[in-house]
Structure 1
Amino acid sequence: MSYKHLTPEERGKIEAYLDEGLSQAEIARRLDRNRSTISREIKRGSEQRGRNSIARLRYQATSAQNIARMRKRNCGTKTKATIHNTRTILKYLNMKYSPEQIVNAVRSVKVCRATIYNWIYSKVINFDMKKLRHYGKRYKVKTTGAKIRVDRTFFANRTIDFRPEAVQLRTEFGHWEADTVVSKRGVATCLATFVERKTRHYVAIKIPHKTGTDMMLAIKRLIELYPQGVKSITCDRGTEFVNQFNIGTLEDTFGCKIYYANPYAPYERGSNENHNGLLREYFPKPFNFKNVSQRKIDEAVFSMNTRPRKVLGWKTPEHKFKLEYAKVT
């Protein structure tokens, strides 16, 4: 029997099962995979931090998928960090040469300036960065964020271009926009926020982490509050919204369609962005949502929902929402 690589859907299930607290053996049984396959996947697909760092990231399906893709792309690549190159570069670094001077003046070195800096950062070359001119501060390691990108095919039929015209024109009730409002730096607790597009009714739910699992629980809570009033949700492409397994389960279970705004286009979820700004009047930055109760959050949201709005003919979102919801129940 030939070996078959894990699929994005399987990686999504692994993330969801880990969040449920299932063991690796149980995950392997449910996916009909060898236990060693699951163990290696979790180990390889989790982003590694420094040995003494407390900021260790949990397994995420989107990151693991892209890590696997990059690992496959680099398969068979021969390193240029040969004994000759590293010893020669180290020799000239100790002679006070800069990486740029080495690249352009030492003919036997066939690598670029960025490679030398990367080798120093990653300790391939055992040289103290502080001994470089300007202590190496003028050179910054750049990242493309490839580890958190999602396959474009996942968004193929989920962009706002596929929303019905009634959603775009706000003529149909039950279509929401979603986002998160974060705490101050270093605090994981945040708010999942939702705005009904037609009535501007606002909901904020406290969640312990900005993860796909916690966001899905918040969406399920919204559907429990208004079981007949959630037809679709439009969100951004943050990691808390792009777990393929969770999104597929949500759509199949509740019939709630998920749409995605285009990258770098917060104006496509303008109502939600505006209401998040209004919420900051009650909880200004920097704020620790871990220390505030859901009751206090509900009080602030109720105050916002009971203000008259010009766009609603000076009616309140609370009033408009109750009228619309009564029509569908």
Structure 2
Amino acid sequence: MARKWDWAVRAAVYRELAAGRSALELESALGVAMSTVKSWAKLAGMEFMPGRIGGVRRMPMDAPAPAGAGRSYRRLTVSDRAFIQAARALRVPMSVRAIARELGVAASTVSREIRAHEIAHWRVPHYDAEVAHYRALARRPRYRPGKLDNPSLRAEVVSRLNTRFSPQQIAGELRIMFPEQVEMQVSHETIYQALYLQGKGALRHELTVVKALRSGRTTRVPQSKLPPRSSRPWLDGARLTERPAEVNDRAVPGHWEGDLVVGPENSGIVTLVERQTRVALLGRLPGMRDSQTVTGILAEMIAGLPAALTKTITWDQGTEMAGHASFTVKTGCPVFFCDPHSPWQRGTNENTNGLIRDFYPKGTNFNEISDADLAETQRLLNIRPRQTLGWRTPSAMLNELINSVALTA
């Protein structure tokens, strides 16, 4: 009869533990003290669960063990390991290379397996298939479900990313839509990590848009090093210092910022954005960028708005607005110009142009963009919830302003 310090008894203890039996049961069935079972489990790399009964964490023994990070060799099954155990127990043990040929794996896989899972018993190494498989499974990292593992929340996030919402916009809108459902809320940082850090951007594979986020830059763009521009006569009386003070705090609607987004073959679009509501308007240039053409397009873009919502436009010092005086006479909307190389003075428009470049990257020929496509881009820009608006949308805020102006007229 085998004694409790024989390897056969110790191997039986391991197999029974892996099968889910407690240390208390093994003490009764095999005559091995609970303290000994705990000690053996620790030496075998088994996670012993505390308590009066005791035992080890259960493992799905019919599952293949996980491959190590970056390794391409085949995962060994419990049957593979049983073959290794039998081959090593022969009167003349099979060589590592012979075992590898039988299993169809590299010799290094078998060698590494034996070295990793042999257990010394009275200084004699022993290999047991079930113990080895249990230990291999136990190395699998524990998985803690993440926020975006919730299918409903994940669908909401993916849908908004496909509509070109930023992670902050998504997080803000979900808090408004699901105020009482914490499981349907997620931080913008979690979305960023799901796109770029976890699983090699697994979330990005579910998107229909080319870029999940607006900016592809990894470093800041340095400020302009161009020399100061020469004096331009059309700036007289229209510099930023002469703009009404009410424009600065965005408390009064009707003040706009504008610029051109240009492409090859003299193509381009005129962009306008309202400072308070962030509403964007886009107008196509007909293959020309001269001042008469640009100011004509601008006049058409604001023609449908109430006069109370077209008080000023702020532009950079580009020559395309040299004829702004005639535009002001025609529309009643004065134009004011930023200082040289100071795009932050019309930062709302600069930000909007960055969003537009997400739809139309540099090099886009705007002569080839249809009016319907341009209108759809304008719509998508204006239905984005904005953090600065308390996660409301620009279009909703503009409609409220237009209605309020109509009621007071």
TM-score normalised by L of structure 1 = 0.52
Partner of 1:295: 372
TM-superposed CA distance for 1:311, in Å, is 0.1
Distance 2:328 2:301 in 1: 14
Distance 1:160 1:145 in 2: 16
Identity value in percent: 31
TM-superposed CA distance for 1:155, in Å, is 2.3
The answer to whether the Cα contact below 8 Å between 2:280 and 2:378 also exists between their aligned partners in 1 is: yes
Partner of 2:285: 207
Which letter maps to 1:157?
Answer: G
Distance 1:223 1:305 in 2: 16
- Please list the CA deviations of residues 224-277 of structure 1 after superposition, one character each: whole Å capped at 9, or x if unmatched: 12142211100011010113xxx2222223211110001110110100010000
2:366 is the counterpart of 1:286: no
TM-superposed CA distance for 1:144, in Å, is 8.4
1:309 to 376, 386, 398: 386
TM-superposed CA distance for 1:327, in Å, is 2.0
Secondary structure class of the residue paired with 1:271: helix
Structure 2 alignment gaps of length 5 or more: 1-225
Q: Give the number of the structure with larger relative contact order, counting CA–CA contacts within 8 Å between residues 6 or more apart.
A: 1
Between stretches 220-229 and 316-325, larger displacement belongs to 220-229
Partner of 2:276: 198
- Please list the CA deviations of residues 121-179 of structure 1 after superposition, one character each: whole Å capped at 9, or x if unmatched: xxxxxxxxxxxxxxxxxxxxxx9898x8522xx42321121222221111111110010
TM-superposed CA distance for 1:318, in Å, is 0.5
Partner of 2:400: 323
Which letter maps to 2:302?
Answer: I
Secondary structure class of the residue paired with 1:320: helix
Distance 2:260 2:310 in 1: 18
The answer to whether the Cα contact below 8 Å between 2:306 and 2:405 also exists between their aligned partners in 1 is: no
2:346 is the counterpart of 1:269: yes
2:249 is the counterpart of 1:169: yes
The answer to whether the Cα contact below 8 Å between 2:268 and 2:285 also exists between their aligned partners in 1 is: yes
Partner of 1:221: 300
* Cα 1:230/1:303, change in 2 over 3 Å: same
Secondary structure class of the residue paired with 2:358: coil
The answer to whether the Cα contact below 8 Å between 2:273 and 2:348 also exists between their aligned partners in 1 is: yes
The answer to whether the Cα contact below 8 Å between 2:255 and 2:313 also exists between their aligned partners in 1 is: yes
Distance 1:326 1:250 in 2: 26
2:271 is the counterpart of 1:189: no
The answer to whether the Cα contact below 8 Å between 2:228 and 2:340 also exists between their aligned partners in 1 is: no
The answer to whether the Cα contact below 8 Å between 1:205 and 1:294 also exists between their aligned partners in 2 is: no
Following TM superposition, where does structure 1 have runs of at least 4 consecutive aligned residues deviating by more than 4 angstroms?
Answer: 143-146
* Cα 1:291/1:255, change in 2 over 3 Å: same
The answer to whether the Cα contact below 8 Å between 2:328 and 2:334 also exists between their aligned partners in 1 is: yes
Partner of 2:159: none
Distance 1:276 1:241 in 2: 18
Partner of 1:77: none
Secondary structure class of the residue paired with 1:234: strand
Distance 1:144 1:195 in 2: 28
Partner of 1:230: 310
- Please list the CA deviations of residues 272-329 of structure 1 after superposition, one character each: whole Å capped at 9, or x if unmatched: 0100000111111211111011210110111111010000000000011111122223
Whose Rg is larger?
Answer: 2
Cα-Cα RMSD: 2.0
Pairs within 5 Å for 1:228-267? 228=307, 229-243=309-323, 247-267=324-344
Distance 1:160 1:328 in 2: 27
Secondary structure class of the residue paired with 1:219: helix
* Cα 1:265/1:168, change in 2 over 3 Å: same
Which letter maps to 2:311?
Answer: K
Pairs within 5 Å for 1:113-192? 150-151=232-233, 154-184=234-264, 187-192=265-270
* Cα 1:281/1:144, change in 2 over 3 Å: closer
